Amino acid sequence: MAGSNPNAKPMNLTLKVWRQKNRNTQGGIVDYQVKDISPDMSFLEMLDVLNEDLLRKGEEPVAFDHDCREGICGSCNLFINGRAHGPEPGTTTCQLHMRKFNDGDTITIEPWRANAFPVNKDLSVDRSAFDRIIQAGGYISVNTGGTPDANEIPIPKEIADRAFEAATCIACGACVASCKNASAMLFVSAKVSQLALLPQGHVERKSRVENMVAQMDKEGFGACTNIGSCAAECPVGISLENIAILNREFLSAKATSNNLA
């Protein structure tokens, strides 16, 4: 299959890595060499090799976020050679494997860049803006207990499937990172359309979209210009259709809600 080459030789690579001490200092690119990288390694395992090497030499390892390393937690977030999560479509950084690169390659690694995502250190950024957007309304207000039997609300399979697809967003921020406007519309729209599609979400439908969009703007994300970079780079394939649903929800909420504020 494409890209797979069991006999591929170990690779030597030049890494150009963004180093930045903390939020308040200027950063810059630093060059590193890594040797004997197996094509079967994941990209993060390659960085592990670099970091072990740096630590042994008494230099500070490169800080980067990661956790599950199976493409679902949304922690990893590297801008690799000018692309969010690197060159492979539909793939998080942790699932990107070195067999996609060649011996002698130079790889530039940068953090997500957006005003709303300040850098913590090196390649780690602060994505708490996403949490605050969800806190503004990305939920259905039900308390624990007292809910009706799960099968009392039949939901057409097609609707449930579409809601599920929107709900698979991992909040990695690749949409913001790759959008030239640093817009968070794909992220916001995924949650808004999941809950707008499901009958359970209809009760708070208007206030939800109004509040989430207001918070999104407050966080300093840009506006959507429908260029499609976000969906193209989204590792889990969240569709642009969600943004249209968000727009529709927003327009109809603004036109009909009783909210005068």
Scanning residues 58 to 87, which ones bind other proteins (CB under 8 A)? 58-61, 63, 65-75, 79, 81-83, 87
Residue with Cβ nearer other proteins (104 or 146): 146
Is 203 one of the binding residues for other proteins (CB under 8 A)? no
CB of 26 to other proteins, least distance (A): 9
CB of 121 to other proteins, least distance (A): 4
Is 256 one of the binding residues for other proteins (CB under 8 A)? no
* x/- letters, 40..59, toward other proteins (CB under 8 A): xxx-xx--xx-xx--xx-xx
Is 105 one of the binding residues for other proteins (CB under 8 A)? no
Cα separation, 121 vs 43, in Å, equals: 19
- Residues binding other proteins: number (CB under 8 A): 134
Cα separation, 186 vs 102, in Å, equals: 33
CB of 241 to other proteins, least distance (A): 6
CB of 102 to other proteins, least distance (A): 15
Is 103 one of the binding residues for other proteins (CB under 8 A)? no
Copy the structure tokens of residue 62: 């490169």
16-35 positions binding other proteins, by CB under 8 A? 16, 18, 21-22, 27, 29
226-255 positions binding other proteins, by CB under 8 A? 226-229, 232-233, 240-241, 243-251, 254
Residue with Cβ nearer other proteins (103 or 131): 131
With beta carbons less than 8 A apart as the criterion, state whether 73 and 67 touch.
yes
Q: Catalogue the E-assigned strands of 93-227.
A: 106-110, 119-121, 124-125
Q: Catalogue the E-assigned strands of the chain.
A: 11-19, 28-37, 79-80, 83-84, 106-110, 119-121, 124-125
111-170 positions binding other proteins, by CB under 8 A? 113-116, 120-121, 124, 126-128, 130-131, 134-136, 138-145, 147-151, 153-157, 160-161, 163-164, 167-168, 170
CB of 150 to other proteins, least distance (A): 4
- Which residues does 8 contact at the CB level (< 8 Å), separation at least 6? 39, 99
Is 206 one of the binding residues for other proteins (CB under 8 A)? no
Buried b (16+ CB within 10 A) or exposed e, 225-259: eeeebbbbbbbbebbbebbebbbebbeebeeeeee
Between strands 106-110 and 11-19, the pairing is parallel
With beta carbons less than 8 A apart as the criterion, state whether 172 and 125 touch.
no
Vertex 27, ends 72 and 36: CA angle to 5°?
60
* x/- letters, 183..202, toward other proteins (CB under 8 A): x-x--------xx--x-xx-
Residue with Cβ nearer other proteins (102 or 155): 155
Q: What's 3's DSSP letter?
A: T
